Amino acid sequence: MKKLLNILLISSFLLSVSCVDDLNQAPVLDTTSATVYAEASNYKMVLAKLYALYVTAGQEKGGGDADLSSNMGYDYMRCYFNLQVAGTEEIASTWLEGDKIGPLTYLSWDATDPWVADMYYRLYYTVAVCNEFLRNSTDDKIAGFSESEQNDIRIFRAEARFLRALTYYHAMDLYRDIPFVNENDPVGAYIPPRYTSKEIFEFIETELAEAEPVMTDKASTEYGRASKAAAWSLLAKMYLNAEVYGAGAHYTECITYCKKVIDAGYSLEPEYAKLFNADNHLRTNEIIYPLVVDDEHIMSWGATTYLVCGEVSSTKDDADYDPADYGVVSGWGMFRVRGQFPDLFTEGDQRAMFFTEGQTQYIDDCTDQTNGYLVTKWSNLTDAGEAASNTSNDGVDTDFPMFRLADIYLMLAEAVVRGGSGSSVDEALGYVNQLRQRAFGDSYETSGKISISDLTADFILDERARELYWECSRRTDLIRYNRFTGDSYVWQWKGGIKDGTGVDSKYNIYPIPASDLTANPNLSNENY
């Protein structure tokens, strides 16, 4: 059994908020905040709710008794996965109409898109709940508790600041210039100001610098909670993309925080596939911060259930393809990869986890499940090869690695190639070759090993795709390389055309939902 954050106990604290009302309102609780925060023991239960916000949409199994009224009704991670991956060559979605994902697939969304709106309001609901926790965990508020209880709550507060920073990072990365609220702003009739992405960047930078010293280290962090290394990983990712956010180049700072993570004692998991199965909670050697999904306590029809069940075909009935091989009762048949993606891999790369028999590589019809290779990367199987849960009733038991060491290695290498100091090309090459050695196994020396001349920015972009596909990185990576929009890199069905076409650069940024433009006169969409 996974070590969880008392998720079962949090169900008594029912939080809900309308998606179009003021973004700074306090969450509505059946019991008042004064009652909830009167007992020191309740603080950890509310902290558990903050962590659960990323993978479940409500208080009941599968997101029932919803926290938030929304278009599609799914959790934060399902929304985030769609906005980060659905428009790239990593995914070809089958259920375009039923899941209303056609505009994301074709890079043709507008300010009324349901997924764009749901992600936005899911982000700000998470910020609102974090703000409420922070209002009630100041030194003055907890002064009546014992010294030991106060120390624990200060750590919880630092973790809540990390979670809010992570949420604001996602909001900045997706929407750029966004409304900003924190725990010091008035509750109720308050219209948040619009911050530029540079201002949000600076807020996150300061927030993490203050929270990280209070957070726990790797050895003493309870599974599912964020350690110091999680804060360092978030900073490294933000610094790698700093120029995109108008904050200037920060490649040296990226290297600094990557090395902090590396020096904390993480190591690569020897078997790549085990990072994505139902026992991946055992991979704390590589996984720095996971989103915890548990079929018993935090079951979700989004999160990793969406990935595992979504990758498994719902139509294949040949003897060589069995949903049970992936630990699921039946597949949803929602995802394949687009034709260009498998070409990024070379022979012998064990990360190329595709089912190809009876599948065409290229996609003539997005709704045809035989078009495009099926992905086999994610699984609901334990290390022993047994199904971890009944997916038809309980979803999957597979956690999502929000940050892991392989990403840190690749970020350091890219920052070195882009001119950052604090490391060397030789050191960066060594880290990348560690990933290649795992990927190629016995054929590493002949097929996988690269030299310094191979370690270019373009190589690293492709290596990130090979290592991190379906881990919510691709859109951000392509934007950093100026290849998500425009026509410098085209893939099947980009722009809604079978062979792909360039698209307007406005699609690098998602629009603020039209409903919030009406509610907040400080906001605008320049290009929508």
Delimit the domains of the chain by residue range: 7-195, 292-397
Residues 524, 518: Cα–Cα separation, whole Å: 10
Residues 429, 450: Cα–Cα separation, whole Å: 8
* Per-residue pLDDT, 1: 52
Whether the pLDDT of residue 18 is over 60: the answer is no
* Nearest one of 299, 309, 303 to 61, comparing CA atoms: 299
Task: Give 259-304 pLDDT, tens digit per residue.
Answer: 999 999 999 999 999 999 999 999 999 999 999 999 888 888 999 9
| pTM of this structure | 0.95
Task: Give 474-528 pLDDT, tens digit per residue.
Answer: 999 999 999 999 999 999 999 999 999 999 999 999 999 999 999 999 999 999 9
Q: Across residues 177-191, what is the average pLDDT?
A: 92
Q: Model confidence at 119, in pLDDT bands (50, 70, 90)?
A: very high
Q: Model confidence at 441, in pLDDT bands (50, 70, 90)?
A: very high
Torsion-angle region of 177 (φ positive above 0: left; ψ -120 to 50: alpha; else: beta): beta
Residues 394, 271: Cα–Cα separation, whole Å: 27
In sequence order, the 6+-apart residues with CB closer than 8 A to the CB of 425 are 416, 417, 452, 455
Residues 499, 123: Cα–Cα separation, whole Å: 34
Task: Give 44-57 pLDDT, tens digit per residue.
Answer: 999 999 999 999 98
* Nearest one of 508, 519, 467 to 273, comparing CA atoms: 467
- 7-195 classified as CATH 3.50.50.60: no
Phi, psi of 381 (to 5 degrees): -95, 145
